[in-house]
Structure 1
């Protein structure tokens, strides 16, 4: 009898939790793919809510949101796009905050190819340099700012291979279609080290800060899961994951 009663109590508790659990549809900047996948698992385990993510460039997501895409939360790769949506009354007032500050890296899949100072860029011995579309992807814009600061814009222009987003820019390098490219550090970094190839972590002074803002969109106004996710992103569990991928909080 006691065993049966315990099972009934457990079933009631699980039913109660599922009654309050919900899904949240999230538009996630491509550079944040790996961290949000780790965060999603912890978020579901800790809250019962399920995070359903779509990945892409911040500029493309802006267009989709304006055209009625069903996203409830937007994790952008910049702070200007969420601010613009806020000014256009597409977001829940007061919900926007910076969840991470990104780091740009010059990367090659070849060990030893990229030096610690990025001098390989000036060596001009490569055929292709991969970047994300600077009009849609903040990391691509940052890459163009670095090239301008180094007086390499004209020299590198014929060599540029442009990805639609930072994931595609990374893929051009990882598949050997470009010898090197500008990527998000989070794509090649885990637990304090570059996991593969060789890289130059670009000094922040060479480009505008890559402040990445999160915001609840109008479609998430009444979503408990959306509100829970925003709180979770501000907490210690998410912060530890975000930092492990090379971001600043």
Structure 2
């Protein structure tokens, strides 16, 4: 009998030791929220995650990409708890398909665009861009329509834009170029990126001289170039909406994140991260 007890005790200690190696013996791992986040908002959600994780005692698992591709992955059944799109169209489609928690579709921010210019051409006096270099150095400056037309319409510089079929910021940029009647001159010089993060990578690699990218992306990673914010009335509104997916097993935590993003302190932080406040009231989530 003593031998059996000793054997059982040793076996229990061995199991506990193995559990310790994988995160603790008898300790529950913190709950995890799986987020599908448009790449334009990734820098902002990374900046906000620590505050939310410490408040909720949970972990955020972030998958970033173009809203269009993330939407397709959700429709294909990939397990996410929430979808933070950079538009409203795809959350609406998911809602109509019955794949969301009722009343969970909410605007969490409004996007802005920026014109990013490589330092090489912005300091090249022969290119004509040096005239605006002083303004470009001030990241809180905004472009006028005339400046935007002069910068984009002059020369043969390549312009990086996210794929308008997949990325809402790319769609807004192309629509703006068409509105300003610049599209015929620029169409052959556009370099398409998969999403906002990819656009920034292409610019840093020198595959484009200028870029029309999300302002938040420019603020987060724009040190290798100069950039100016484009006034929001230049382009179609970018209403960024999030939705809680019906398949989630962490509905309460998902609701907390929705409320966290819409809270007044976070909305003020978002303005410093390159986004406009959502300016919407939340009717609550059932």
What TM-score bracket applies, with the shorter chain setting the length? 0.7 to 0.9
Match of 1:30 in 2: 39
Give 1:132-147 correspondences, 5 Å limit.
132-147=162-177
- Residue aligned with 2:99, SS: coil
Match of 1:63 in 2: 72
> 2 CA distance for matches of 1:176 and 1:90?
41
Q: Is the 8 A contact 1:78 1:213 kept in 2?
A: yes
- Residue aligned with 2:119, SS: coil
Which segment is superposed worse, 71-80 or 220-229? 220-229
Q: Is the 8 A contact 1:27 1:61 kept in 2?
A: yes
Q: CA deviation at 1:197?
A: 2.2
Runs of 4 or more above 6 Å deviation: none
Q: Is the 8 A contact 2:216 2:273 kept in 1?
A: yes
5+ residue gaps, structure 1, are 1-17
Which segment is superposed worse, 195-204 or 80-89? 195-204
TM-score, normalising length: structure 1:
0.85
How many matched pairs? 229
Larger Rg: 2
TM-align CA RMSD: 2.1
TM-score, normalising length: structure 2:
0.75
Within the candidate set 154, 176, 182, 2:206 is matched to: 176
Q: CA deviation at 1:195?
A: 5.2
Q: CA deviation at 1:120?
A: 1.1
Match of 1:200 in 2: 228
Match of 1:41 in 2: 50
> 2 CA distance for matches of 1:231 and 1:203?
28
5+ residue gaps, structure 2, are 1-26, 123-128, 133-142, 278-286
> 2 CA distance for matches of 1:162 and 1:244?
28
Match of 2:155 in 1: 124
Q: CA deviation at 1:21?
A: 4.5
- Residue aligned with 1:81, SS: helix
Q: Is the 8 A contact 1:38 1:241 kept in 2?
A: no
Match of 1:227 in 2: 255
Q: 1:10-35: per-residue Cα shift (whole Å, max 9, x none)?
A: xxxxxxxx869511000000001111
Match of 2:245 in 1: 217
- Residue 99 (1) aligns with residue 108 (2): yes
Q: Is the 8 A contact 1:111 1:196 kept in 2?
A: no
> 1 CA distance for matches of 2:58 and 2:105?
20
Match of 1:162 in 2: 192
